[in-house]
C-alpha cells in the first residue's frame, strides 16, 4: 500500500510536538496507535503533509486513579493495557466491559483510548463509554491545557473542536459520588468489525437507588450519541425492570441510525433498547449479589 508522500517527525516532548503542529498549519496528523490513521492513509482517504509520531514521548502510557477517585488515561495507554488492567474493574466497570470488545487483539495492542475518542468515528466504542461517564479530554496547546467534556469535543463525524496545534494528552473520568456500576454491549458481525450497535450504560448507586446515570450510543448516528434523557429516566430508580424499560425506549428514540448493510434503522433502535435492558439487568443482578 502506497500512501501519498508525507513528512515524518518523532518529537520527544509534548512541547516539541505542539511546536511541530503549530508550524504545520493544520496539515499535520498525530500518530499514536495509528489503527485508523494508517488505513486511511494507505487508501489515500487521508493525505496529511506531516505525521507527528508521539510514541517517543515519555510518560503518556499510564492509566490510574487519583486519591480522590478521578481516573486518568494517558494518550499512549493502549486498549490492551486497559483490557489487561488488574485494577480497572473495581474503579471503572464500564471501561472494563468495553476494553475487551474494542476491535480485535491486534488493534488493541497498538490502538489508544485517547486516539480513538479524538478520531471521532461514530462507530468508535470509547467515545460512548466516555460520554456515559461524563468524561473529558485534556488538550494541551501553545497556551497550556484545557479540559473538554467528550460530549462537547465531538462536533460531527470524524470532527472535534481540538485546535490544529492542540494534542489530547489524557482522558479524565471524574470521581464517582456513589458506587459505580455499568456495562458495554456491542453487536458486531465479526470480531474487529465496526459496531452495528454499541451501548454504554454507567450509573452511580447510592444505596440501592441510582444517583447518577449516563448512556452513550455507538454506531447509531452521525456522531456518538449522548442519550441523556434516557439516562435521566434511570435516576432515582432501583433499576427495576419497568424503569429500565422506560430508559431503553428513550435510548432507542435518541438513536438516529441509518439502514445499511449492517441492519435496518428499526432493527438498530431495537437493539439499542435491548442492550439497555440487558445492561440494566446485569447491574441489578450484580448489585443483588453484592448485597
| Sole binder of other proteins in the list 189, 208, 222, 229 (CB under 8 A) | 189
What does residue 258 show for φ and ψ, rounded to 5 degrees? -110, 150
**CA torsion, ordered 274, 102, 75, 18, to nearest 10 deg:** -90
Element (H, E) at 7: strand 7-9
Judged by CB under 8 A, how many residues of this single chain contact other proteins?
Answer: 29
Positions 122 through 181 that interact with other proteins (CB under 8 A):
none
Tell whether residue 249 is a contact of other proteins (CB under 8 A).
Answer: no
Q: Rounded CA gap, 131 and 150, in Å?
A: 6
Among 26, 69, 192, 207, binds other proteins (CB under 8 A): 192
- Could you give the angle at the alpha carbon of 118 between the alpha carbons of 102 and 1, nearest 5°? 70
Which sign, positive or negative, has the C-alpha torsion 42, 104, 97, 57? negative
Contact by Cβ (8 Å): 273, 185: no
* All three cell numbers of 144: 497550556
What's the rounded Cα separation, in Å, for the pair 42 and 155? 26
Interface with other proteins includes 43 (CB under 8 A)?
yes
94, 128, 160, 196: which one binds other proteins (CB under 8 A)? 196
Residue 4 or 13 having the CB closest to other proteins: 4
**197-206 and 209-218 as β-strands: parallel, antiparallel, unpaired?**
antiparallel
Report 263-282 residues binding other proteins (CB under 8 A): 263-264, 267-268, 270-271, 274
Stretch that binds other proteins, among 2-10, 151-159, 161-169, 231-239 (CB under 8 A): 2-10
Piece of 24-32, 62-70, 191-199, 204-212 that binds other proteins (CB under 8 A): 191-199
Nearer to other proteins, 72 or 110 (CB): 110
Which one among 16, 193, 245, 253 touches other proteins, defined by CB under 8 A?
A: 193
**Contact footprint for other proteins (CB under 8 A):** 1-5, 39, 43-44, 104, 187, 189-194, 196, 258-264, 267-268, 270-271, 274
Amino acid at each position: 500500500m502506497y500512501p501519498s508522500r508525507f513528512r515524518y517527525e518523532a518529537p520527544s516532548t509534548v512541547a516539541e510536538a505542539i511546536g511541530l503542529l503549530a508550524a504545520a498549519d493544520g496539515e499535520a496528523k498525530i500518530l499514536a496507535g495509528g489503527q485508523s490513521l494508517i488505513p486511511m492513509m494507505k487508501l489515500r482517504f487521508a493525505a496529511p503533509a506531516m505525521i507527528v509520531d508521539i510514541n517517543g514521548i515519555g510518560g503518556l502510557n499510564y492509566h490510574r486513579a487519583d486519591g480522590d477517585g478521578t481516573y486518568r488515561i494517558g494518550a499512549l495507554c493502549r486498549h490492551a493495557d486497559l483490557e489487561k488492567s488488574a485494577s480497572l474493574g473495581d474503579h471503572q466497570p464500564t471501561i472494563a466491559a468495553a476494553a475487551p470488545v474494542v476491535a480485535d487483539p491486534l488493534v488493541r495492542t497498538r490502538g489508544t483510548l485517547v486516539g480513538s475518542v479524538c478520531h471521532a468515528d461514530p462507530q468508535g466504542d470509547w467515545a460512548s463509554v466516555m460520554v456515559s461517564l461524563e468524561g473529558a479530554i485534556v488538550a494541551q496547546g501553545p497556551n497550556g491545557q484545557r479540559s473538554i467534556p467528550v460530549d462537547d469535543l465531538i462536533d460531527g463525524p470524524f470532527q472535534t473542536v481540538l485546535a490544529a496545534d492542540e494534542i489530547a494528552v489524557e482522558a479524565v473520568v471524574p470521581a464517582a459520588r456513589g458506587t459505580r456500576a455499568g456495562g458495554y454491549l456491542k453487536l458486531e458481525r465479526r470480531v474487529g468489525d465496526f459496531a452495528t450497535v454499541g451501548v454504554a450504560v454507567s450509573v452511580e448507586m447510592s444505596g440501592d437507588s441510582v444517583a447518577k446515570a449516563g448512556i452513550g450510543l455507538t454506531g447509531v448516528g452521525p456522531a456518538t450519541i449522548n442519550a441523556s434523557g434516557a439516562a435521566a429516566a434511570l435516576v432515582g430508580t432501583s433499576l427495576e425492570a419497568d424503569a429500565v424499560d422506560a430508559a431503553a425506549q428513550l435510548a432507542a428514540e435518541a438513536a438516529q441510525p441509518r439502514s445499511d448493510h449492517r441492519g435496518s434503522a428499526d432493527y438498530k433502535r431495537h437493539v439499542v433498547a435491548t442492550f439497555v435492558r440487558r445492561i440494566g439487568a446485569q447491574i441489578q443482578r450484580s448489585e443483588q449479589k453484592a448485597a
